[in-house]
Amino acid sequence: MTRSISRRTLLALMGGAGAAATLGACAGPGSTAPKGGEGAAPATGDAKGEVSFAHWRAEDKAAFDKLIEEFQAKFPDITVEQDISPSNDYQTQALNRLKGGSAGDVFPTFRGAQFQQFVKAGVYTDLSNEDFVANYNPAMLEAGKSDGKQYGLPYQVVLPMPIANKSLLSSAGVDAPPETWDGFLDMCDKLKSKGVVPLAWPGNAPGDAGQLFNTMVMNEQPSDDACAQIEAGTMKTTDEWFVGMLKKYAELRPYFQPNAVGTVVEPLQQLFVSEKAALLCTGSYHISAVRSLGAKFDLELVPPITVNSNPKYLGSYNATFILGINAASKVQPAAVEWLRFLSDKQYAGEYANATVQNVSVAGVEYTNPDLKALAPWLEKTLMLAPRFQFNDLDIRSAVEGSCIAVVGGTDPAEAAAKAQKVIDQRI
């Protein structure tokens, strides 16, 4: 369900409210016998063995390595090994790997289509009765529920909005993020006149390219569930509002880097860090990466507001990286202990500050300067990322592909019609 995030919830995410439950006792010898079975609660028993932690966050490897070291000091009978895949590979291959139980005793999914796919495939166990679920902010847990059961724990709170170099903005006379479409285009003009690329956008990395869609659509759609309605067939990409949004993508063409639809993320991060591009059009999840590449300048979030008055939303957020226990795992008691450890506010805080990600665990203290600088965004009216309303990845790909095609030069109406043709075949 799409909804705006409340001020109280966001403040709670910043550690200002909400008491986390105390950690429960560890499972150990003599506890109940393994339960097993798809969709059942994780087995209990001796917490020992090698836990495979499968995920796609290569940029978080060092942070998890440190947490694993602390965890293994507390649990000497358990080892944790990271199994990291590129995000696109994870989306296409992880399900089969996890179903076989060869990897991913603990694993995450993306919110939306992938989460639902894994639930239907019986890969998740049911965490509803695990005591550490109470450590999370209740408002953030919805994305990990299905049919009333808590299958996953959304761990990250991501702000999928372009991140900007504040120094370059200031040099162009832009002192605050524009809150109108005309203001956004004017900012791009000013940056371009300074000889920098206004918008670095990875059009050849669909997972990252689609993040811009969240903010491009949030003030254009006639209702908050428009993406779900496109998938249901009650709205179409050929509708006037959607074509109008695509026309605004076309207006941005002069401001992207050359060959925008053929560019992946890594060279754009270098372009951004070297101050040759002002905005990196992905999201807060790349702040840690650009810092590690040497970015020294202050950062800001600058989402495109596509209207000139009364915007409903000033930005977007997402609750994702939905952690769960694999039903096929042979070391479920040990896997539960690793997930319990990650759900402790102390260790969740270490992860958050090391990776520059807000987390959904309540009571976390944020000390990272970037997280502190971006804190005001968490008090604004944000929309839960609409692109994850799509549960059919082919439909999402068609919709987001129409945006990429327009940036590449295709007429907006033509791109919309082509996307709708794919959608009609899927409905």
Question: How many whole angstroms separate alpha carbon 318 and alpha carbon 388?
Answer: 9
Question: How many whole angstroms separate alpha carbon 291 and alpha carbon 165?
Answer: 12
Question: How many whole angstroms separate alpha carbon 422 and alpha carbon 427?
Answer: 9
| Residue 373: closest CA among 305, 266, 273, 291 | 291
> What b/e string do you get for 283-303 counting C-beta neighbours within 10 Å, with b at 16 or more?
bbbbbbbbbeeebebebbbbb
Give the list of residues 6+ apart from residue 358 with CB closer than 8 angstroms, or none: 13, 14, 156, 157, 158, 159, 284, 352, 366, 371, 378
Question: How many whole angstroms separate alpha carbon 83 and alpha carbon 311?
Answer: 42
What pairing do the DSSP bridges indicate for beta strands 163-165 and 382-384?
A: unpaired
pLDDT along the chain (427 residues), means of 10: 44 39 31 50 95 94 97 98 91 89 94 91 97 92 93 95 98 96 98 98 95 98 97 98 98 98 97 98 93 96 98 94 96 98 97 91 92 84 93 94 98 98 96
pTM attached to this predicted model? 0.77
3-state SS assignment for residue 237: coil
What pLDDT score does 235 carry?
98
What pLDDT score does 36 carry?
43
3-state SS assignment for residue 332: helix
C-alpha distances (whole Å) from 12 to each of 298, 321, 342, 363 are 25, 19, 18, 7
* Token duo for residue 390: 């799509």
What pLDDT score does 4 carry?
46
Question: How many whole angstroms separate alpha carbon 56 and alpha carbon 59?
Answer: 9
3-state SS assignment for residue 32: coil
What pLDDT score does 38 carry?
59
* Token duo for residue 332: 């479920």
What pairing do the DSSP bridges indicate for beta strands 299-301 and 106-109?
A: unpaired
3-state SS assignment for residue 282: coil
Contact of 126 with 342, CB cutoff 8 Å: no
Tallying the residues shown for the chain, one arrives at 427
Question: How many whole angstroms separate alpha carbon 387 and alpha carbon 400?
Answer: 9
What pLDDT score does 184 carry?
98
What pLDDT score does 120 carry?
94
Helix-then-strand count for the chain, H and E: 17, 13
| Residue 108: closest CA among 356, 342, 289, 333 | 342
Question: How many whole angstroms separate alpha carbon 313 and alpha carbon 302?
Answer: 13
* Token duo for residue 96: 């089969």
C-alpha distances (whole Å) from 134 to each of 8, 153, 212, 327 are 18, 11, 33, 22
Question: How many whole angstroms separate alpha carbon 217 and alpha carbon 316?
Answer: 10
